[in-house]
Amino acid sequence: MKFVSPLNVASVSTPSLVAKRVHEAIVSGELRPGDRLPSEAELANGFGIALMTVRAALIALRDMGLLVTVRGRHGGNFVAEDVGDRLAESARKAPLDKLLLRDLTDWRRAISGEACYLAAERSTPERLLDIKAANQEYMSLAQFPDLRFADVRLHVAIAEASGSSRLIRAETEIQVAMTDVILATDRPVRSRKLASYDHGPIIRAIEIGHAQNAREAMIRHAEDTFNWAVLLL
């Protein structure tokens, strides 16, 4: 699994970093409801940390309701089936703030816009198929939070097409933050037809290699999402 890689533990407590990685993997769709995590030993080896540190992080994630532990021969740590509801419940405890949302949107314009630009320049046929498959999955869904998770997978797929590991990392962080914003609302389900949920212009620009058009379409997308969220404040 991609989320299991050595940690930089210089400035943040290691259990917090592990929990953050798992949280991001859930939001980005790398881990889905019901998925089994690697064993504690595999996680410790992959992260390059002590087994007890992994256990502390898993306990915190269980306390948050994101993971469940099953004992026995076929047991292990699993993503909770209702993880979307758990994330939404947590997000609603923090009120939306227009200034913070504006700052997040500005960051998104810079990172996601450049990811789209480079995806249009660098995307391979295989990466384009990944983007289209992610968009097809998104279009097939109608309910939150599944719709939101599919949205995240699409944007991360675009960042992966850029070929930049730093952009992929930054895009993942942005999408986790956006998930908190979107799941904090009570009315996202009926807003699917808003322009902020139309990825068509972005994908078409990437497909034909129009880098500047892809960036501009992403910026419009980010601003549409900002305006929609502000209406719900």
Which tens digits make up the pLDDT trace of 123-174?
A: 999 999 999 999 999 998 877 777 888 899 999 999 999 999 999 999 999 9
Euclidean distance between CA atoms 204 and 197, whole angstroms:
15
* C-alpha torsion 104→21→52→91, nearest 10: 50
Token reading at 96:
């939306």
Q: Is residue 71 part of a domain?
A: yes
Asked if 39 and 117 sit in the same domain, the reply is no
Which tens digits make up the pLDDT trace of 111-122?
A: 999 999 999 999
pLDDT at residue 56 is higher than 60: yes
Work out the burial of residue 137: count CB atoms within 10 Å of its CB; fewer than 13 is exposed, 13-18 middle, 19 or more buried.
middle
Asked if 146 and 224 sit in the same domain, the reply is yes
pLDDT at residue 10 is higher than 70: no
Q: Which of 62, 81, 100 is the last residue of a domain?
A: 81
Q: Is residue 3 part of a domain?
A: no
- Could you tell me the pTM of the whole model? 0.78
Residue at 23: amino acid letter: H
Asked if 187 and 217 sit in the same domain, the reply is yes
Asked if 127 and 55 sit in the same domain, the reply is no
pLDDT for the residue numbered 12: 46
Q: What is the arithmetic mean of pLDDT over 84-88?
A: 81
Asked if 71 and 105 sit in the same domain, the reply is no
Domain that holds residue 34: 14-81
Euclidean distance between CA atoms 21 and 48, whole angstroms:
13
Residue 38, SS3 per DSSP: coil
Asked if 107 and 190 sit in the same domain, the reply is yes
pLDDT at residue 233 is higher than 70: no
Euclidean distance between CA atoms 225 and 148, whole angstroms:
13
pLDDT for the residue numbered 211: 98
What is the tally of structural domains in the chain? 2
Euclidean distance between CA atoms 105 and 17, whole angstroms:
24
Q: Is residue 1 part of a domain?
A: no
Q: Which of 81, 99, 118 is the last residue of a domain?
A: 81
CATH code of the domain covering residue 24:
1.10.10.10
pLDDT for the residue numbered 182: 78
pLDDT at residue 11 is higher than 50: no
Radius of gyration of the chain (CA): 18
DSSP state at residue 35: P
CATH code of the domain covering residue 173:
1.20.120.530
Asked if 122 and 212 sit in the same domain, the reply is yes
pLDDT for the residue numbered 195: 42
* C-alpha torsion 89→177→171→11, nearest 10: -110
